[in-house]
A and B are shown apart, each in its own frame.
Chain A
């Protein structure tokens, strides 16, 4: 039983990465209608950004949490301005192909320069060590990841669903022409939204840098699972992707305990089941 508690907690930790990443995807899909396959590559860029900040500029982890999402977010906005904006109104396949291509290019460049085995990034001193919870040894850093990502997720949800700015955003996706008539710069808002989604990916990258190796393919390995999370949660649904992210982390954790061989397929089995029963995802509305 003790072991089970431990697995549940570990699942929650992984779930927080899924939640942060799928949240960014959901924001981008909900507001821009783009299936952002470059998300994994941008997550990886966030981790590399933290590495460079520490090793070249001597800037520590805490500042990296702020700077890396901004830097990568700006990179994302440039992508949106120069390429993605031309896709509005086209079929989803175009966005998917373009972002997938961008992901391959970014990963290829990083791989060419840094190889595949990755770079070391240490846990910041303040978060080293762990607490003995009785049923498990919880590394402080992991606890921090859960709490921090939960806060960020809820803040994003609040921003989009409960504030004036969020209302404009949602209105702009429903009817851009009308919102423009009110004097709001819709293209700029869309660019900023993409930047926000990308920034969330980069933030997840910084959070994961001390746990996983900082390596060019770290995002490629994760992104497929995250897409499954988004599909299960319902494309574009903010709260849906947060809840599904955490829930799937837990389910995956339990699978690792009961039948580890299936741990990297269980998410996809669930995806198939959900799609069979409810094709719009758990919280999605019919298109």
Chain B
């Protein structure tokens, strides 16, 4: 009995000692890249995001300074329940400090709650919903790359101002589609336009002809595609087939990724306007990064903006850890530090993380090149306009984030 008590005491003492040590100078970090590894979003995030995370670790220089940083990856299969189960297990069993990427807004919002509950860090790059830094913001979350507000304002505004004042939406029937339609509708009505109707289609639909016919008969000038990935490429391809563009209606691909343009081919995609915050061929720094990325990625693909966001977000996270002098394993503390340091990196340029967790940087309105203008296998975009960082995202005065009401 006596032995057992002393053993217990010794154990407790040891536990406290190591915990104290951890607070002071623990230099271990475990990163979980949670993504769609095999479904419709796996090309724009997926294994490429894991690669981006590894590159961020290597480029941070922390390994040489004695840090031990691991990257693990998981497949959420676009299912919120699976995503949150993996996140929970990562925090409880695998002692993960930070979750990155997480495309699919439905999964992203589910994981958002888990990260807050476990006091981890969450740098979301893949998901679009602006709710992550609005109604559902948490002190543990940084939303890096883009969101529905930014897409709606940049692409939506540009199209309404150039005369596209009547709209019809093809909307993916889940959190992301609803958010994108809502945010774009707000922009359209604010600029004097009108939404004539919308149709909600299930995620991962292969045939859009019924929906396109409804859009066609609405006589709207703009058909807004509030969907993503394979759903967007299929709707664009089939819209061409049904003579929608040649009939005088215009397509607005509100969210289009580099990989989607690649999949469509320039023949079909040419002339589309859309917004991204990163394109590999912007300047020397992005080209250098893209070249290094392409040497290691599957099929030598160039990085998508989501993958670039994983890289840049993690680099900023490492800066915060270095400033803290170690990993405190305390999500709120690390994110606070991240918000206090201005962001600056090769891929997204200068910016900051706002108090609601929104990372802001410039957004770019692009147009897809004609096949004759393209000089290489990944030469797809020409820049139309740049939206400055402070105008691209939700103004803090309009944000409903509870963190702002302190």
On whether the beta carbons of B233 and A118 are closer than 8 Å, the reply is: yes
On whether the beta carbons of B207 and A141 are closer than 8 Å, the reply is: no
Evaluate whether A115 and B298 lie within 8 angstroms (CB atoms) in the complex, with A13-B209, A142-B241, A261-B202 already known.
yes
Among listed B36-44, B324-332, B379-387, B393-401, interface-contacting one: B36-44
The closest CB in chain A to the CB of B36 belongs to A116
Least CB distance from B230 to A in Å reads 6
On whether the beta carbons of B262 and A256 are closer than 8 Å, the reply is: no
Contact partner, A136, options B204, B206, B213, Cβ 8 Å: B213
On whether the beta carbons of A137 and B243 are closer than 8 Å, the reply is: yes
On whether the beta carbons of A260 and B211 are closer than 8 Å, the reply is: yes
On whether the beta carbons of B298 and A257 are closer than 8 Å, the reply is: no
Among listed A85-93, A192-200, A211-219, A276-284, interface-contacting one: A211-219
Interface size range on B against A: 35 or more
* Most central of A14, A113, A136, A263 by chain B CB within 10 Å: A263
B268: chain A residues within 8 A (beta carbon): 120, 122
Evaluate whether A257 and B214 lie within 8 angstroms (CB atoms) in the complex, with A117-B233, A221-B206, A222-B206 already known.
yes
A233: chain B residues within 8 A (beta carbon): none
Least CB distance from B233 to A in Å reads 6
The answer to the question of A79 belonging to the interface, with a C-beta cut-off of 8 Å to chain B, is no
B260: chain A residues within 8 A (beta carbon): 117
B186: chain A residues within 8 A (beta carbon): none
A129-153 vs B, CB cutoff 8 Å, 1 = contact: the mask equals 1100000110101100000000000
The answer to the question of A10 belonging to the interface, with a C-beta cut-off of 8 Å to chain B, is yes
Contact partner, B237, options A11, A211, A218, A260, Cβ 8 Å: A211
The closest CB in chain B to the CB of A111 belongs to B38
The answer to the question of A7 belonging to the interface, with a C-beta cut-off of 8 Å to chain B, is yes
The answer to the question of B259 belonging to the interface, with a C-beta cut-off of 8 Å to chain A, is yes
Least CB distance from A76 to B in Å reads 23
A181: chain B residues within 8 A (beta carbon): none
Evaluate whether A116 and B230 lie within 8 angstroms (CB atoms) in the complex, with A122-B265, A213-B237 already known.
yes
On whether the beta carbons of B213 and A10 are closer than 8 Å, the reply is: yes
B103-136 vs A, CB cutoff 8 Å, 1 = contact: the mask equals 0000000000000000000000000000000000
Instruction: List CB contacts (< 8 Å) of B21-58 with chain A.
Output: 38-44, 46
B6: chain A residues within 8 A (beta carbon): none
The answer to the question of B95 belonging to the interface, with a C-beta cut-off of 8 Å to chain A, is no
A263: chain B residues within 8 A (beta carbon): 201-202, 205, 210
The answer to the question of A184 belonging to the interface, with a C-beta cut-off of 8 Å to chain B, is no
Evaluate whether A137 and B205 lie within 8 angstroms (CB atoms) in the complex, with A116-B42, A117-B229, A213-B230 already known.
no
Least CB distance from B228 to A in Å reads 11
The closest CB in chain A to the CB of B229 belongs to A117
The closest CB in chain B to the CB of A2 belongs to B217
Instruction: List CB contacts (< 8 Å) of B205-253 with chain A.
Output: 205-207, 209-211, 213-214, 216-217, 229-230, 233-234, 237-238, 241-243, 247
The closest CB in chain B to the CB of A222 belongs to B206
A215 to B42 alpha-carbon distance, docked (Å)? 12
On whether the beta carbons of B204 and A221 are closer than 8 Å, the reply is: yes
A142: chain B residues within 8 A (beta carbon): 209, 241
A156 to B299 alpha-carbon distance, docked (Å)? 40
Beyond A122-B265, A213-B233, A256-B211, 5 additional pairs, beta carbon < 8 A: A3-B217, A117-B260, A118-B233, A123-B241, A212-B237
Query: Could you name 10 residue pairs across A and B whose Cβ atoms are closer than 8 Å?
Result: A6-B217, A111-B42, A115-B43, A115-B298, A116-B38, A117-B230, A117-B262, A122-B265, A217-B39, A263-B210
Binding site for B on A (CB under 8 A): 2-3, 6-7, 10-11, 13-14, 111-120, 122-123, 129-130, 136-137, 139, 141-142, 211-213, 215, 217-218, 221-222, 253, 256-257, 260-261, 263-264
